[in-house]
Amino acid sequence: MRDLADTFKALSDETRLQMMALLLENDELCVCDFVGALGLTQSKASRHLRYLYNAGLVKDRREGLWMHYRISPSSTAEQQAVMDSLAHALGAERRLELQRRLTDWQQGKPAACQ
């Protein structure tokens, strides 16, 4: 039950909902991808991702200077049900808009971020 409460707490922020929506559509994203797609500072993006990590919703890995995030494969059944509902609740139009913003960012992504 605690995992479920932590999940809802982690998803109670619009920025974290957008991050999860992007991760549901993409295998793995770098912190710089969230910065570019969502218009966040690096520190703010990292803080939100750490919150999702602490709730057990995402896993991270380091590649050089960059941290990459993906949906946690060890999510509980309850967490997985919430994430499945999240994709539906956000609606196709909102998910497409987020994905378009990410694609636009990635096409012009600075070489230092690749």
* Banded model confidence at residue 29, pLDDT cuts 50, 70, 90: very high
* CATH number for 13: 1.10.10.10
The reported pTM is 0.88
More confident residue, 17 or 2: 17
Supply the range of the domain harboring residue 22.
2-102
Q: Is residue 89 part of a domain?
A: yes
In a domain, 39, yes or no: yes
Residue-averaged pLDDT of the chain? 89
Residue 76 counted as domain residue:
yes
Place 75 in a pLDDT band, splitting at 50, 70 and 90. Answer: confident
Q: Is there a domain that residue 110 lies in?
A: no
**How many separate domains does the chain show?**
1
Tell me if 113 is assigned to some domain: no
Instruction: Kindly report each contact of residues 66-71 with a partner whose C-beta sits within 8 Å and lies 24 or more positions away, as own/partner.
Output: 66/30, 66/31, 66/32, 66/113, 67/30, 67/31, 68/28, 68/29, 68/30, 68/31, 69/23, 69/28, 69/29, 69/30, 69/31, 70/23, 70/27, 70/28, 70/29, 71/20, 71/23, 71/24
